[in-house]
Amino acid sequence: MTQLSINTARLISEINTLATFSDAPAPAVTRILYSGQDQAARVWLRQQILDAGLTIREDGLGNLFARWEGSEPGLPAVGTGSHIDAIPHSGKYDGVVGVLGGLEAIRALKEAGIKTKRSLELVMFTAEEPTRFGIGCLGSRAMAGTLKPADLLAMSDPEGNKLDELRQAAGFKKTLSGVQLAQDYYSSFIELHIEQGPRLERDNLQIGIVTSIAAPATLRVILHGDGGHAGATLMPGRKDALVAASEIVQEVERAAHESGSPDSVATVGLLQVHPGAVNSIPSKVTMEIDIRDTRLASRDGMVDRVIEKIEEVCGRRQIGHDVTILNRDNPCQSGEEIIQTAERVTQRLGYSYKKLVSRAYHDTLFMAQICPTAMIFVPSENGYSHRPEEFTADEEIAQGVEVLALTMAECANL
């Protein structure tokens, strides 16, 4: 088998340098889309990519594509990549390992003299985190066409700055209609990422091969009852919005338990009671419900069941209700051929591994709408992520890069 030498010291030093572009003091990292630190990080990243001998293209949102031409450059490319934006006070590995690790994977292939048939392309997705515009995976959603130019033009950050003005001020002036990729742009896309959970570490494994990504549906439900004095209003005829909500909460849990899928989860994570006084009947309740599964049919089955119950409860209790579906993304299954290739590569390298489900979602969820995809996970110490203590050992990152590089190389010769 081809021997690759991953330059772990170079990669780790780059990860450490990128972490210094931050609005929070080390070890915390804060890097918000189109901020000064994000811009400075992009300038630095472009230089590393150019130094590696790759060509750069950027689209109107600032998604960055770094390409190493294959021997048949007209063929759909093999893509890899992730994000470098970081939520406030998070760590230095989430996303970054997939961008700088992807760069190192391509560099290692180049340095080993391996020329593939298909081109290899590294993507740095604009804003995987929802920090600034309230929606996760902004760049990859637009690349997949699930966010259209009109949707992007309507977006503003909490200070009222329009996305369209911010992106142009950041130097991304190409048309938004040019962001969506063609269905045959990539033949496959493989993202390297830290696990952000404890499963690999717990089982003492080096590599995770992601077979599917669960996707959430998020519902906001507002219940309008009738308030009044808790002592003076007798029980007959009460329209207590919280008691109605309590029936709905129970149904959310039942829907997940009884869906028939082991991957079903459903949670009411937010419940606001108005007016919120001990001697006042709750007149209004706002609740937000998160429902996930790796299979669309199971996930949507739970959503439908919960909505039916809301209607039944509110009808019976004469409670007004508004249900808004805040998002409802499709889960994805990884491409069988990529899974098998990654598995073969991992076995040949002698690394311990397991196939697993990603319960958090990533840019790959949206890339799956335009090409076969898979993800490679490396362990997260204690499962920590989105906090400064996020940690993956240097050699574990290098092992992930090695698996990524050889998987890409094999996919690029198909």
Least CB distance from residue 377 to Zn ion, whole Å? 11
Q: How far is the CB of 99 from Zn ion (least distance, A)?
A: 10
Encoded tokens for 224: 């309008």
Measuring CA to CA, how many Å separate 147 from each of 140, 189, 329, 352, 365? 9, 19, 12, 38, 14
Please answer whether residues 392 and 379 qualify as being in contact, where contact means their C-beta atoms are separated by less than 8 angstroms: yes
390 binds Zn ion (CB under 5 A): no
Should residue 85 be labelled a site residue for Zn ion when binding is judged by CB under 5 A? no
For the bound state, the minimum distance from the C-beta of residue 278 to Zn ion, rounded and expressed in Å, comes to 42
Asked if residue 95 binds Zn ion (CB under 5 A), the reply is: yes
Q: Tell me if 190 sits within 8 A of 412, measured CB to CB.
A: no
Least distance CB 131 / Zn ion (angstroms): 12
Q: Which span sits near Zn ion by CB under 5 A: 46-54, 95-103, 393-401, 403-411?
A: 95-103
| H or E segment to which residue 300 belongs | helix 296-317
**Which residue is at the shortest CB distance from Zn ion?**
95
- Residue closer to Zn ion (CB basis): 124 or 252: 124
CB 226 within 8 A of CB 344: no
Total number of residues that touch Zn ion (CB under 5 A):
2
Contact between 102 and Zn ion by CB under 5 A: the answer reads no
Give the nearest distance from C-beta 367 to Zn ion in angstroms.
Answer: 13
CA distances from 296 to 4, 110, 143, 293, 301 (A): 39, 40, 21, 7, 8
Q: What is the nearest approach in angstroms of Zn ion to the Cβ of residue 97? A: 9
Return the SS3 of 249. Answer: helix
Q: Which residue has the tokens 């130097």?
A: 171
Residue with Cβ nearer Zn ion (79 or 95): 95
Closest CB to Zn ion among residues 196, 346: 196
Q: Scan residues 145-164 and list those touching Zn ion (CB under 5 A).
A: none
In the numeric block, the tokens 């990539």 are attached to: 186
139 binds Zn ion (CB under 5 A): no
Is 94 or 240 the residue whose CB approaches Zn ion more closely? 94
Give the H/E segment covering residue 86. strand 86-90
Instruction: Give the interface segment with Zn ion, choosing from 87-95, 109-117, 235-243, 287-295 (CB under 5 A).
Output: 87-95
Binding segment for Zn ion (CB under 5 A), chosen from 86-94, 118-126, 244-252, 280-288, is: 86-94
81 binds Zn ion (CB under 5 A): no
Question: Shortest gap between Cβ of 166 and Zn ion (angstroms)?
Answer: 21
For 64, other C-beta atoms within 10 Å of its C-beta total: 23
Residue 409 CB-density burial (10 A; 0-12 exposed, 13-18 middle, 19+ buried) = buried
Nearer Cβ to Zn ion, position 136 or 282?
Answer: 136
Question: Which of left, alpha, beta for 409 (phi over 0: left; psi -120 to 50: alpha)?
Answer: alpha
Burial class (CB in 10 A: 0-12, 13-18, 19+), 110: middle
Query: Beta-strand (E) ranges in 114-154?
Result: 120-125
Closest approach, Cβ 137 to Zn ion, in A, equals 9
- Judged by beta carbon, residue 95 or residue 101, the one nearer Zn ion is 95
**94 is a contact residue toward Zn ion (CB under 5 A):** yes
- Segment near Zn ion (CB under 5 A), from 27-35, 90-98, 273-281, 399-407? 90-98
Interaction site with Zn ion (CB under 5 A): 94-95
